[in-house]
Amino acid sequence: MDILLWHKILSPYELAVNELVLKFSHMKKEHRERGVYCPIEHVSGRVKTISSILEKMQKKEIPMERMEELVEDIAGIRIICQFVEDIRKVAQLIEARSDIKILYEKDYVKKQKQSGYRSYHLIALYTVQTIDGPKELQVEIQIRTMAMDFWATVEHSLQYKYKTNIPEHIKARLSNAADAIISLDNEMSSVRSEIMDAQLSSQLQHRLVADI
């Protein structure tokens, strides 16, 4: 496919990613301004690269004409939380919105992938306004803790290095690390209320100092 055509197809996805990152970042700001705990720690987004789209289509035998329907993560949003409990809260914030229509979830927190990957994914529809009119797109929203994100980032770079054939001894280490991540998330959850109180009072102190 011609590069100009690719750009034309991907342009609305870029808009969707930019809008959604802004909207989720604003949610964080609204929480802070009200002095309430925000389950969102960090938000990022990306449009899948052309080579990564083609790779997925080849792997799943997706024909070109069904690309936008079957490659669900052309637009990807990643929301990072501090605690496992925050994942549900973020999902509820998304469910309550009128601009995002959830199609289905992939709960790899409840049921982790064989690789050890844990994350909560929502596949949703989001409409952008283009010069050709409104366009409804699929977006994948990944919600995970900082610890889960650390593991996934490291494992992703190893997948890249070993072209998905990660050696068995490294896989075993990654599996141990995935168990350690579960323990870490559980430990953090057990002191969650202490940490949340500390963070809210330090936020309040910063606001008071800023007001003086």
Catalytic residues: 140
Nearer to ligand 0O2, 52 or 189 (CB): 52
The amino acid sitting at 139 is V
Q: How many residues does the chain have?
A: 212
CA distances from 22 to 55, 72, 121, 122 (A): 29, 21, 19, 18
User: Of 28, 32, 42, 56, which one interacts with ligand 0O2 (CB under 6 A)?
Assistant: 56
Q: Which of 9, 162, 157, 139 is nearest to 79 (CA)?
A: 139
* 115 belongs to the binding site for ligand 0O2 (CB under 6 A): yes
Q: Are strands 75-81 and 133-145 parallel, antiparallel or unpaired?
A: parallel
| Least Cβ distance, residue 102 to ligand 0O2 (angstroms) | 15
Residues 6+ apart with CB under 8 A from 85: 39, 189, 192
* 144 belongs to the binding site for ligand 0O2 (CB under 6 A): no
* 47 belongs to the binding site for ligand 0O2 (CB under 6 A): no
Give the E-state strand segments of 35-93 in sequence order: 42-47, 75-81
Nearer to ligand 0O2, 15 or 121 (CB): 121
Piece in contact with ligand 0O2 (CB under 6 A), picked from 14-22, 34-42, 110-118, 189-197: 110-118
User: Of 40, 155, 181, 185, which one interacts with ligand 0O2 (CB under 6 A)?
Assistant: 155
Q: Which of 141, 137, 139 is nearest to 12 (CA)?
A: 137
User: Of 7, 156, 161, 173, which one interacts with ligand 0O2 (CB under 6 A)?
Assistant: 156
User: Of 32, 44, 62, 117, which one interacts with ligand 0O2 (CB under 6 A)?
Assistant: 117
Contacting positions for ligand 0O2 (CB under 6 A): 48, 52, 56, 73, 106, 113, 115, 117, 121, 152, 155-156
